[in-house]
């Protein structure tokens, strides 16, 4: 083998491989040191808007209104499945955020209503996925019954939502 060829095919790769291997532990450990130095308690889930009225008004209300309009318009204009699916999922997932907002009294009932509304939203999302209009509309009504059950108990029957 000629010296130039020997250098580029044998010496150079060997230097690269065996030269960097011993450095790896120090690279890894220095990363860990940095992480340890700046480590803080892991961030927790927390609500951005603590006021329940604002939360319902800006997360649930516009989503519910869009959904209702899209479902009621569909006979005339054809279903906007993407919008319906999106809003059904937003409402279903937003019910999880109600778990962060339990009242002091009757928290168990609150959680049960939130879980039932979440299940209704999830059924609606799945029905919209299969583009089955009667099933989607039925799931919407069923979800609203669960939304309203919480409003009945915790809001003295205010905000009774219509399909
Ligand atoms: C676990 C209880 C609970 C569930 C479940 C719940 N809500 Fe509410 N909702 C409330 C409370 C409490 C209020 C009243 C907030 C206030 O004004 O202080 C409210 C108010 C509202 C309002 C009126 C907002 C306004 O600005 O007047 C709308 C609209 C609403 N909810 C939609 C929904 C929809 C849609 C669902 C179901 C997908 C739902 N809610 C499920 C507790 C709940």
For 18-58, the pLDDT digits (tens) are 555 555 544 444 555 555 556 899 999 999 999 999 999 99
Q: Does 67 contact ligand 1 (Cβ within 6 A)?
A: no
Q: Does 61 contact ligand 1 (Cβ within 6 A)?
A: yes
Q: Does 147 contact ligand 1 (Cβ within 6 A)?
A: yes
pLDDT at 73: 85
Q: Does 159 contact ligand 1 (Cβ within 6 A)?
A: yes
Residue 148 C-alpha to ligand 1 middle, in angstroms?
A: 8
Sign of CA dihedral 65, 66, 69, 71: negative
Write down how long the chain is: 163
Residue with tokens 């997360």: 59
Distance separating alpha carbons of residues 33 and 52, to the nearest angstrom: 42
Residue whose CB lies within 8 A of the most ligand 1 atoms, among 108, 112, 151, 155, for a mutation test: 151
pLDDT at 7: 46
Structure tokens at 15: 């230097």
pLDDT at 15: 46
Residue whose CB lies within 8 A of the most ligand 1 atoms, among 111, 115, 147, for a mutation test: 147
Residues of the chain with pLDDT under 70: 1-38, 75-79
């Amino acid at each position: 083998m000629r010296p130039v060829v020997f250098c580029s095919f044998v010496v150079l790769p060997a230097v690269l491989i065996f030269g960097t291997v011993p450095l790896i532990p120090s690279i890894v450990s220095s990363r860990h040191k940095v992480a340890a130095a700046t480590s803080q308690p892991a961030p927790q889930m927390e609500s951005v808007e603590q006021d329940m009225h604002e939360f319902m008004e800006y997360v649930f209300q516009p989503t519910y209104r869009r959904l209702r309009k899209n479902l009621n318009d569909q006979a005339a204009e054809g279903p906007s499945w993407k919008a319906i699916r999106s809003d059904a999922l937003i409402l279903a997932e937003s019910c999880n955020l109600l778990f962060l907002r339990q009242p002091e009294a009757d928290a168990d009932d609150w959680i049960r209503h939130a879980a039932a509304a979440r299940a209704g939203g999830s059924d609606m999302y799945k029905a919209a996925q299969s583009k089955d209009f009667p099933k989607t509309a039925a799931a919407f009504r069923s979800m609203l019954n669960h939304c309203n059950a919480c409003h009945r108990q915790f809001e003295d029957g205010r905000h009774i939502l219509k399909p």
